[in-house]
Amino acid sequence: MKLKWVDSLEIALALLEAHPEVEPSQVRFTQLRDWVLALEDFDDDPSHSGERILEAIQMAWIEEYDD
């Protein structure tokens, strides 16, 4: 399944798997964007990311990290 910017939960799970040692609340949006773009299954226009989308991804990642 190819990931798009709107797939915040799926992206969060992929980031948790790729970076299990990272505390997601400490990640800056610039780094988060780079990591999302580097995900093997990610396939969307890089210019479509924005603060709201990155915030949704980070919040989902924090929730999954805390579980």
User: What pLDDT digit, counting tens, does each position of 20-51 carry?
Assistant: 999 999 999 999 999 999 999 999 999 999 99
Domain hosting residue 36, numbered range: 8-66
Q: What is the CATH number of the domain that holds 28?
A: 1.10.10.600
24: enclosing H helix or E strand: none
Number of domains in the chain: 1
Stated pTM of the model: 0.94
- What phi and psi values does residue 26 have, to the nearest 5 degrees? -95, 0
Q: What share of the chain is helix, strand, coil (3-state, %, to 5)?
A: 65, 5, 35
pLDDT confidence tier of residue 56, bands split at 50, 70 and 90: very high
Q: Is residue 3 part of a domain?
A: no
Residues facing residue 42 across a β-bridge: 3
Q: Is residue 13 part of a domain?
A: yes
Q: Is residue 1 part of a domain?
A: no
